[in-house]
Amino acid sequence: MEILNFIKIYEKSFIENWDLPALTDYPTGHTVTYGRLATEIALIHRFFKSIGLKPGDKIAVCGRDSVEWVRAYMATVTYGAVVVPILAEFNPVDITHIVNHSGAVLLFVGEHIWEHIDPETLLKVKGVMSLDRRAVLYERHGSELSRDLKLLKRRFRRDYPEGYTSHDVKYIDRANSEVVEINYTSGTTGFSKGVMLTGENLAGNVCYGMESVLHFRSSRALAFLPLAHAYGCAFDMLTPLAVGSHITLLCKTPSPRVLLKALAEVKPHLVICVPLILEKIYRNQILPMISRGAVRWTLAVPLLDKVIYSKIRNRLIEAFGGEFEQLIVGGAPLNHEVEEFLYKIKFPFSVGYGMTECGPLISFTPWKEFVPGSSGRTLPDMESKILSSDPENVPGEICVRGANVMKGYYRNPEATKAVLNEDGWLHTGDMGTRSADGTLFLRGRSKTMLLSASGQNIYPEEIEAKLNNMPFVAESLVVERDGKLVGLVYPDYDAADRVGITSVELPESMEKVRAELNALVAPYERLSRIILMPHEFEKTPKRSIKRFLYTQ
């Protein structure tokens, strides 16, 4: 696979797709074409130039997904500056730390976020721009951002007296080896690091998406994952913009009601999804349906089961818009029971594997070739290996090398050295096996793996996957306490209420759950007890549980 120059990909796309719709704001329906987007990017470039920004300068972007967010991101990278996307869900202290640690000289921010940030704590920022309107929210003493903004349109008209056209699109010549993005991870270990992604890292992902025809010219995409996260950024924004797709930005929290309505209206040709959405649909809609007496009996009858499975599959396909070729699950492991059911009913889905440090993709297989239980084949421009005496059968740490692997952690050589060796192999921290054709099978995180008294490896995530499918369990963690396995469970109070179980009766119900779970797992994986948690587990903006808070 040929990896193209990252910045030139968009120069070419904006010229060739000038009149096509590029971005639509879902709530308002406001749409901009590729030509309009390119013109607004040129306007921002003129502003950058007037305030003295140079290629290589850091520019932070923090706000909800929006047309303005995409415009600020794309203007930054095509100018040759380094973009620092910050998840809007981060708290003000973390946002301030990231802006300062990255050395950002300009910040684009949503005004609902800005009102909680003290300007005096921003060390190198010369100005702050609103993502909600064309306005300067703050400028350091001596800067003249407000004046430059007022003169911007006049200067732009002077530069392009005949108007800005596709013939004027010309972006900086910058080697793919240069850093174009610093993405601060939102991991579950409590330690945020700035991942330096080069043009080659991002182009490796984008070119794979282009070659695989995940998106295509005039295809429809619905972006509902955070664009500040590597997964949504690469495949809900960068890849579709590279080929001339029409992206509809949800621009709001993807609650089931809002998301299903948007999917029905947009009818995307590809759905990029996280496991939580599929697992909620399975638990709240499918599981109750197939557990009913009459349906359960029918599923035991050959031929009749195929009829029911076909109806469920068609209903699911319609729920996601009805016109997608495949649904790609990523961002976290998919529950095995949910995966087995979706595969059984022939639902068009596939599970990929990646991490921010690879911008993000490591492995993926199209749905028709997908192997259940796997995370897809290692990408063509990537290598993988397992640190194990028997990589196909004995789990070991997964290591990867290739075009997508980061340059390192920004201003953190110790952390870089801990995961990236001199030969370019990245130690992912994930445990798994690998088949001869490069297909990866994940087991869990090396940091969470426990050792039983008799020496067996225990992967808490595998036990949690089974526990989360039990009645009245909303979410769970399996931890070690005094040498024994304990299940921490936040109950599904709504489910308990529906069948008349009170909070006083829940502990007894959980004992039944524990007995049922222990009958399914290996003897060394059995839980000694279940502790009910009064509140939901604390989570990262990506909705992963902050495990480190509960394993002390």
Mean of all residue pLDDT scores within the chain: 92
CATH code of 61's domain: 3.40.50.980
Pairing of strands 179-184, 136-139: unpaired
Average pLDDT over residues 220-249: 97
Q: How far is CA 473 from CA 152, 284, 491, in A?
A: 56, 12, 5
Long-range contacts of 150-154 (CB under 8 A, 24+ apart): 151/50, 152/43, 152/46, 152/47, 152/50, 153/43
> Using CA atoms, how far apart are residues 60 and 73, in angstroms rounded to an integer?
9
- pLDDT value of residue 453: 65
CA dihedral defined by 411, 415, 421, 425, rounded to 10 degrees? -100
Residue type, 389: S
Assess whether pLDDT exceeds 50 at residue 193.
yes
Q: Which of 138-152, 154-168, 474-488, 527-541 has the highest mean pLDDT?
A: 154-168
| 78 is a domain residue | yes
Assess whether pLDDT exceeds 90 at residue 452.
no
- Quote the domain boundaries for residue 366: 270-322+325-445
> Using CA atoms, how far apart are residues 175 and 7, in angstroms rounded to an integer?
9
Task: Render pLDDT for 331-341 as a digit per residue (tens, 0 to 9).
Answer: 878 888 899 99
Both tokens assigned to 71? 């415009």
| 237 is a domain residue | yes
Both tokens assigned to 536? 């939901």
Both tokens assigned to 171? 């972006």
HSE-up of residue 23 (Cα within 13 Å, Cβ side): 26
- pLDDT value of residue 189: 47
Same domain, 533 and 490: yes
Same domain, 353 and 469: no
Same domain, 103 and 169: yes
Q: Of the residues 423, 445, 467, which one is the last residue of a structural domain?
A: 445
The DSSP code for 481 is: E
Which carries the bigger pLDDT value, residue 283 or residue 437? 437
Same domain, 242 and 277: no
Q: How far is CA 319 from CA 26, 183, 286, 292, 350, in A?
A: 18, 33, 13, 22, 17
Same domain, 380 and 469: no
Both tokens assigned to 383? 């290598």
> Using CA atoms, how far apart are residues 92 and 105, in angstroms rounded to an integer?
18
Same domain, 198 and 96: yes
| 262 is a domain residue | no
Same domain, 436 and 462: no
| 355 is a domain residue | yes
Q: Of the residues 445, 468, 493, which one is the last residue of a structural domain?
A: 445
CATH code of 341's domain: 3.40.50.12780
CA dihedral defined by 4, 7, 10, 12, rounded to 10 degrees? -60
Provide the whole-model pTM. 0.87
Residue 346 zone, left/alpha/beta (φ > 0; ψ -120 to 50; rest): left
Classify each residue of 448-458 as buried b or exposed e, where b means 16 or more C-beta atoms within 10 Å of its C-beta: bbbeeeeeeeb
> Using CA atoms, how far apart are residues 14 and 38, in angstroms rounded to an integer?
6
- pLDDT value of residue 477: 93
Assess whether pLDDT exceeds 90 at residue 303.
no
- pLDDT value of residue 545: 84
Both tokens assigned to 439? 């297909």
For the chain, how many structural domains are there in total? 3
Other beta carbons within 10 Å of 440: 25
Q: What are phi and psi for residue 22, nearest 5 degrees?
A: -105, -50
Average pLDDT over residues 140-163: 94
Same domain, 60 and 198: yes
Give the residue carrying structure tokens 């394993």: 551
Same domain, 438 and 456: no
> Using CA atoms, how far apart are residues 480 and 452, in angstroms rounded to an integer?
10
Residue 521: is it exposed, middle or buried by C-beta count within 10 angstroms (0-12/13-18/19+)?
middle
Task: Render pLDDT for 394-439 as a digit per residue (tens, 0 to 9).
Answer: 999 999 999 999 999 999 999 999 999 999 999 999 999 999 999 9
Q: Is 221 helix (H, G, I), strand (E, B) or coil?
A: strand
| Residues in the chain, total | 552
Both tokens assigned to 147? 């004046």
* Helix H or strand E segment including 111: helix 111-114
Question: CA 451, 453, 455 angle in degrees (round to 5)?
Answer: 55
Q: Is omega for the bond preceding 119 within 30 degrees of 0, making it cis?
A: no
- Cβ atoms of 41 and 66 closer than 8 Å: no
- pLDDT value of residue 188: 45
Task: Render pLDDT for 332-368 as a digit per residue (tens, 0 to 9).
Answer: 788 888 999 999 999 999 999 999 999 999 999 999 9
Nearest to 466 by CA among 483, 446, 485, 447: 485
- pLDDT value of residue 455: 66
Same domain, 439 and 369: yes
Same domain, 425 and 511: no
**CA 141 from centre of chain:** 38
